Amino acid sequence: MNYAPRNGPSGYTCMIFLHMPKTAGHSFKDLLRPYFRSVFEINCEADAISADLAAVGSHDLIFGHMPYGIHNHLKDNHKYFVVLRNPVDRFVSDFFYIRQSPQHPMHAIAQDMTLQEYAGVDSRVHHMAYNSMTRRLLSIDFNSSAWWVKDAHLDLHCLDDARQMLFDKIINFGIFEDMGKTLAILAGMVGTDDHMVLMKLNTTLARPSVSHLDRSLVDTIKASNSFDVLLYEDAIKHFSSL
């Protein structure tokens, strides 16, 4: 295997894959692993924020649930990649995934709630459940207190910051609903002529299709994820021009 990031034309030595929940992240990890010498996995929702960051620089693929900012612990050139998904579909999938995953921090809470209750910015639900994509694109200091307890408040400045991350190509991105083009962009970043195909998707079982949801419930989900809705709409327009 010719490890493209270090030996190829891509112009960087480390790829950082920000895994948004319910965007086929585990399938992407399996797809990318053969192209890299060493993978560093991090889950800032489960691990202490003081995970062994000193070891990050020895890996050429950093992958996991984390916000933007881990590159500050790298000495080498890096490129970010993230996949965005329709916010309503992603939120519904995430809710039912949490309900079937006892290890998830919000499992016990979600188990006792309906989707309508969960979508309604319920005080029992952690604020990271809402506008999750926007939050993960905001820069944080990995040496500060855990991002998982970061201030719940978002404003239009936060949305502008997230947009800048994507549209100024600080973070390269793909779209879940346009997987062919997303995989082509990723192959270019990796520096391979291989035809990339996701072999499997981590599908959430027993979840309703968004098209089968009551209109008022869809509107509630959109309202509680309004920043993600706006971000995604702009991302779709930008992505279509690439």
**pLDDT tens-digit profile, the chain (242 residues):** 445 554 444 567 889 999 999 999 989 999 999 999 888 888 765 554 555 566 676 788 999 887 788 887 777 788 999 999 999 999 999 999 999 999 888 899 999 999 999 999 877 787 788 999 998 898 765 554 444 445 567 889 889 999 999 998 888 999 999 999 999 999 999 988 999 998 766 666 678 889 899 999 999 999 999 999 999 999 999 999 98
φ/ψ (deg, to 5) at 145: -65, 160
Number of domains, the chain: 1
Domain limits at 210?
4-240
pLDDT digits (tens, 9 = 90+) for 74-106: 777 889 999 999 999 999 999 999 999 998 888
> Distance between CA 221 and CA 225 in Å, rounded?
6
Q: What is the CATH number of the domain that holds 42?
A: 3.40.50.300
Burial classification of residue 157, based on how many CB atoms lie within 10 Å of its CB (0-12 exposed, 13-18 middle, 19 or more buried): exposed
